[in-house]
Amino acid sequence: MKVIILSKINFFKFMNFNMINDDNVEENNIMVISINDYIKNEKLEEYDKSLNYLNNSFFHKEHSNVFITRFGDYSEETINKKDIIKDSCFSKKEAKRMVEFIKRNKDKSLAIIHCTAGISRSGAVGTFIYEFFGHYDYFKFKRQNPTIQPNMHVLKLLREAMYDNIIK
């Protein structure tokens, strides 16, 4: 499986250029993981729909090959600080959900992962997917995705969720 990591802007451009949308995404041989920023107030999200695409998902319907999530880009050290909203952090539960989604879509030929900048959250998920499919040449993967700097908290939780799934 080929893994592409994009910023949100480049993800929107990629999807529009390839004419992939809510109506036809399931017809494509792709898996999409859309990592959006955490929004504390859902009413703010509704307000922002017309103002700020960064807080909105590209997809508005549920799809078997699209996983939409929201969490902030925090390290383990940052998460332990009192001023962080725990719901805004990537959790073991979310890691387990994501691993199950990846397993259900393992037959796809392309994985497209995005977050706001396409660097750390999506970099961690992309690295995990690359490993999941038995590719262990991280340097090759890094050459193909030179801007990534994987969030080690996200990568660690995904690896743990996969390991827990194998052991059971």
Q: For residues 71 and 6, what is the distance between their CA atoms, to the nearest angstrom?
A: 17
Ordered DSSP codes for 14-30: HHHHTT--TTTGGGSSE
Q: For residues 24 and 63, what is the distance between their CA atoms, to the nearest angstrom?
A: 10
Whether 14 shows a pLDDT value over 80: the answer reads: yes
What is the number of other CB atoms lying within 10 angstroms of the CB of residue 91?
Answer: 14
Whether 72 shows a pLDDT value over 60: the answer reads: yes
Q: For residues 16 and 32, what is the distance between their CA atoms, to the nearest angstrom?
A: 14
Query: Would you tell me the crossing angle of helices 121-132 and 92-104 to the nearest 10 degrees?
Result: 50
Tens of pLDDT, residues 86-139: 668 899 999 999 999 999 999 999 999 999 999 999 999 999 999 888 877 888
Ordered domains of the chain (ranges, CATH): 2-167 (3.90.190)
Whether 48 shows a pLDDT value over 60: the answer reads: no
pLDDT for res 84: 61
Q: Are 98 and 104 in contact (CB under 8 A)?
A: no
Ordered DSSP codes for 75-91: -HHHHTSTTS-GGGS--
